[in-house]
Structure 1
Amino acid sequence: MHFVFWHSYLMFHQAAYIRELANTPGNTVHWCVTQALPAHYRDRGYPQPDTGRIQVHVAPTPAQIAELATRPGSVQVFFGLRGFALPLAAFKASRGAPVHRFLMTENRYEPGARLLPRWLLYTWDALRHRRHLSGVFCIGHAGRYGGARFFAACGYPRSRIVPFVHVVDPTPVPRTPVSHGHLQVLYVGQLIARKRVDLLLRAFSQLDVPTARLRILGQGPQEPVLRRLAAQLGIAERVSFSPGLPNAETVAAMAGADVLVLPSRFDGWGAVVNEALMVGTPVICSNRCGASDVIENGRNGYVFEAGSARALRERLRQYCEEFRWNRTELAHTETARLSGPAVAARFQHRLAQLLAPQQTPPQPAVPGTATPMVKR
């Protein structure tokens, strides 16, 4: 099969399964991007992903776009059509060609003041684009705040919206038991209002485990506010702040923690969840994180109601009192479930579902008309 992926850059959260598709006999895979890796990701220590046998096209010309987007019988995957110039240009070039077009997108359901204007914009997109699409791969699909609900409300057929995930390559870390003599809770991410690190500080301050420690790994404009809040809550001595680290060191920090918490008000996905699970560290995340799709309460972590410090505190308490796991087994299970080969297989399975002929429901007989006789 012939695949063409259209992204704004070589996404390290997509590369593993696209590379695996390219390794599959009979597949030809092209990956077209505006740039290899944006500077702000390089500055945060992210490496350019391994593309293996993928045929990569950086900043393709209009002629190249037209040629790749119209190859007969090809599967065209556009990562976002709003605000992404290259995927939108390729989508427009592909219209009218005998190809299979798919939108891939993160969940956009962010409750609050932004929801209505965002819904109007994406409804307008659906009115223009849905008739040209064979389906939508939705990253962060399930639940009350999931992308399936949002994109169906925008006008995409619910039956053509299928769940998908972000994926990361496994990072080798020592398989040594965690033994620091106290509970270590870890947050990894930007220090911005949307991430609700303040909620984590409040919940942590209410946790009746005086030996617990909280490490906040990241940087951003909220850091001074969060430091003051930790002092006001009387937990400053039990909370440490560390600047961002290169990706390998960040994953090593995850492997050394007891539990990772992602308390975001909204996250389209949250790849730190994948990274933590794949090194055997359970995760507590809010139900407005797309990555909550991969959390199974009590097995690999917990999901809590976004915005509720009480709910997060209760999940932390549950973790301390009830959660039992084997780090090596969890790492093995989650790596097998979330790594490139598994996600490539999931992608091809969902693709087959969407390309299968749709069943036309039988039409009810119109009153007053005769039913045709069937000769036997």
Structure 2
Amino acid sequence: MRILALSYEYPPLGGGGGVALAHSARAWAALGHQVTLVTSGATGLAAYEQLGSVALYRLPVLARHARATASLASLLSFPLAALNFVGKQQWQRSDFDLILSGFAIPSGVAGVILARAWRRPHVVWVMGGDAYDPSKRLSPHRLPLLKQTVAQVLNRSQAIITMSHDMAQRVAQIYRPATPIHVVPQGLALAPYAPQPRSGGPVTVVCVARLVRRKRMAELVQAVAELPPQSVRLIIVGEGPQYGPLQELIASHALSDRVQLVGYVSDEEKLALLRCADIFALVSEHEGFGLVYLEAAAQGLPIVAGRVGGQTDFLRHGVTGWLVAHDQPRQLKAALAALVAQPALRAWMGQQALQMAQRYEITRVADDFLKVLYDTEQRWKTFAA
């Protein structure tokens, strides 16, 4: 199959949605499919890369200055940039079998227009915040114009894919599309399980995330601050608009010896930090899926996560770790305290998490995604004939 994928975010820009597409594109290419991917560019990133059988094009967009978050200007300019680029490339409908948009907006706007012009099937991959983000005043589900735009993209597509049942339910309830919704869990090219020997000292809790309000980092810092000083330390990996406020919070509570903000790190550095940790904690207000939980679980870490969101498809309370309410600090503190105090419980939950993560190896789930694409293409051909 020849797939043209449009996604306004792709590593190192953005978060889990772009990472999901990157893992999937490589897996599809490894299975013999042709993948052409068009995404946003930024200073210091190559305009073109050939990643095995994946052709990656990065386009200049307005005001994309940060890796972790997109500006409104960059969001609005991506559809026009993508359509203009495709036109200049002189690609034709015969070059591709299907168009896939990662994110309903802004990518899906360009995807729908291009699919109609080329008379090709369009599949939209709803990632999470492109349809629902409870922490944002400007979330698409709250603004009539954005809500209508998302609904139009969904209804003018031939298939909708979500990563979790949580997102499928929210898309169905909020936007009520006539287009069929398929739940396909995301997989990862999981790094080998290679825990590092522990040398005593405080228990290490690690959190990897974009530093945005939805991730509720301040509550995690507060919970660690209330645990016995010599028992635990926290390492926060990531960047974003909450970096400065977190620095101030850590300083105001004199926690610099217990809480470390390391900012952006490479994939190799992130893996090394996970392998040296004892617990992974990220209690977001909502996650569309939560790829980072799988990355942590693949290194045998027990997980403390929120009990609302896509991660509830694969994380089990009391088995792979604890699921707590994001707005109940006492629950978060109690979950961390239990794991810090009980090494045997940490080890058992970590092994349960490891076994779970192995079921989401990308080679195991790529076929499920491709089946949706293939079936959509075949239905389109039948309809077009």
Q: TM-score, structure 2 length as denominator?
A: 0.72
Within the candidate set 285, 297, 318, 2:305 is matched to 285
The answer to whether the Cα contact below 8 Å between 2:5 and 2:36 also exists between their aligned partners in 1 is yes
Runs of 5+ in structure 1 lacking a partner? 43-47, 358-376
Q: Show the counterpart of 2:144.
A: 120
CA distance in 1: counterparts of 2:53 and 2:181, whole angstroms: 29
Q: For 1:53, give the aligned amino acid.
A: S
Partner of 1:180: helix, strand, or coil?
Answer: coil
- Taking the TM superposition and a 5 Å limit, the aligned residue runs for 1:307-346 are 307-320=327-340, 321=342, 322-325=345-348, 330-331=353-354, 334=357, 336-346=358-368
The percentage of counterpart residues that share the same residue type is 20
Shift of 1:253: 0.5
How far apart are 1:102 and its partner, in Å? 0.9
Q: Could you tell me how far 1:111 is from its partner in structure 2?
A: 2.4
Letter in 2 for 1:111: P
Contact 1:6/1:90 (CA < 8 Å) preserved in 2?
yes
Residue 43 of structure 2 is aligned to residue 22 of structure 1:
no
Matched, 1:181 2:201: yes
1: distance between equivalents of 2:279 and 2:58?
39
Contiguous gaps of at least 5 residues in structure 2: 11-17, 60-84, 380-385
Residue 36 of structure 2 corresponds to residue 31 of structure 1: yes
TM-score (norm 1): 0.74
**1:6 corresponding residue in structure 2:** 6
Q: Deviations over 1:206-255 (max 9, x none)?
A: 34685122223344554454345346556554323334322211221011
Question: For residues 67 and 9 of structure 1, do their structure 2 counterparts lie closer, same or farther at Cα, with a shift above 3 Å needed?
Answer: farther
What residue is the counterpart of 1:77 in the other structure?
100
Larger Rg: 1
Q: Please provide the CA RMSD for this pair.
A: 3.7
Deviation at 1:92, TM superposition (A): 1.0
In 2, distance between residues paired with 1:119 and 1:342?
Answer: 38
Equivalent pair of 1:14/1:168 in contact (CA under 8 Å): no
- 1:343 deviates by 2.7
Task: Name the SS for the 1:181 alignment partner.
Answer: coil
Residue in 2 that maps onto 1:347: 369
* Amino acid paired to 2:6: W
- Correspondence for 2:218 among 186, 198, 205: 198
Alignment-derived partner of residue 67 in structure 1: 92
Whichever residue aligns with residue 273 of structure 1, its letter is: Y
What amino acid is aligned across from residue 13 of structure 1 in structure 2?
Answer: A
| More deviation, 213-222/254-263 | 213-222
Deviation at 1:196, TM superposition (A): 1.7
> How far is 1:258 from its partner?
0.7
Q: Who is 1:217 aligned against? A: 237
Q: Please say if residues 124 and 161 of structure 2, whose CA atoms lie closer than 8 Å, have aligned partners that are also in contact.
A: yes
